[in-house]
Amino acid sequence: MSQHPGIGKTLVAADHQTNYLEAGAGNPLFLLHGSGPGVSAWTNWSKVMPDLADQFRVIAPDIAGFGFTEFKSGSKYDMKLWVRHLLGILDALGIDKASFVGNSFGGALAIGLATFAPDRVEKLVLLGTPAGEFEQTPGLRSATEYEPSMENMERTMRLFPFDQSIITEEMVRTRYEASARPGAQEALSQLIPKPNPDGPTILKGFPEAVLAKVQAPTLVLHGREDKVVPVQCGWLLAHAIPKAEFHLFGQCGHWVQTEHRARFLQLVRDFCA
């Protein structure tokens, strides 16, 4: 089998052998992937990295426990570890300050970094990012029920975009291969809670009081038909973060960067320039 296209360069951060993709030159721009079975920097960002690399030094890491970065079964995977891991990546690359584009879980991680180490963050772009309290959606529940197979991966992925025709066999295959890695499901189970059998499962993102402490200028992007992270989370982010602006995409699910690629690129280029 040929090497997975998501395998790039390697560095050590927070004691984890860390896989990351890098392209371009200029001001550093980090792309932070979401969660879900088989997720990696490659699955989230490969279609937009070359375009952004024309203007920025683009770095897309696999966060500890995800993609092709090391998973340690004895480690507790939580926001503290992930922020420490991200800071370790910045330090290993000699980057003092950068802008961060975060998709879903990656957006939450970017907020965590912005509140813990605000001096390291230039600007934030948050796509389909959880915030406040909300009921577990079909898209998030599917991640807890997933067992690695091509059929199950395709079924899960169909919950993400508004227009399911954008899902190709290659997308399903590369994500399935990553999901079948040893430890991948164990890591994911630490992030997404199992559904409550006796009624709705309530999930908690950063509360409004924490969001109000984010100092960085922030662009919030959200799909109106997002079935993974409800659009109310986008409104809350835009309301609570002091220097926020909000762009709502109609006929768009959870993958703004894929479903409305050209507009996404234009907005990120203009905002992070």
- Write out pLDDT tens, residues 182-230: 777 777 777 676 777 778 889 899 999 999 999 999 999 999 999 999 9
Mark whether 104 is an active-site residue.
Answer: yes
Indicate the helix (H) or strand (E) that contains 83.
helix 79-92
**pLDDT for residue 71 is more than 90:** no
Q: Among the listed ranges 53-62, 110-119, 195-204, which one has the minimum average pLDDT value?
A: 195-204
Indicate the helix (H) or strand (E) that contains 248.
strand 244-249
Residue 138 Ramachandran class (φ > 0 left, ψ -120 to 50 alpha, else beta): alpha
For residue 48, count other CB atoms closer than 10 A to its CB.
Answer: 20
pLDDT for 252: 98
Relative to beta strand 16-23, strand 9-13 is antiparallel
Which residue of the set 179, 226, 247, 260 is catalytic?
226
Smallest CA-to-CA distance from 228 within 156, 178, 173 is with 156
Which residue of the set 16, 247, 254, 260 is catalytic?
254
Smallest CA-to-CA distance from 143 within 97, 189, 201 is with 189
Task: Pick the more confident residue, 197 or 241.
Answer: 241
- Write out pLDDT tens, residues 147-156: 999 999 999 9
pLDDT for 2: 66
pTM for the model stands at 0.95
Which residue of the set 104, 222, 247, 260 is catalytic?
104
- Write out pLDDT tens, residues 7-26: 999 999 999 999 999 999 99
Mark whether 51 is an active-site residue.
Answer: no
pLDDT for 256: 97
User: Are 252 and 260 spatial neighbours (Cβ–Cβ below 8 Å)?
Assistant: yes
- Residue 134, CB-side half-sphere exposure with 13 Å CA sphere: 22
Mark whether 247 is an active-site residue.
Answer: no
> Which pair of tokens denotes residue 97?
């300050």
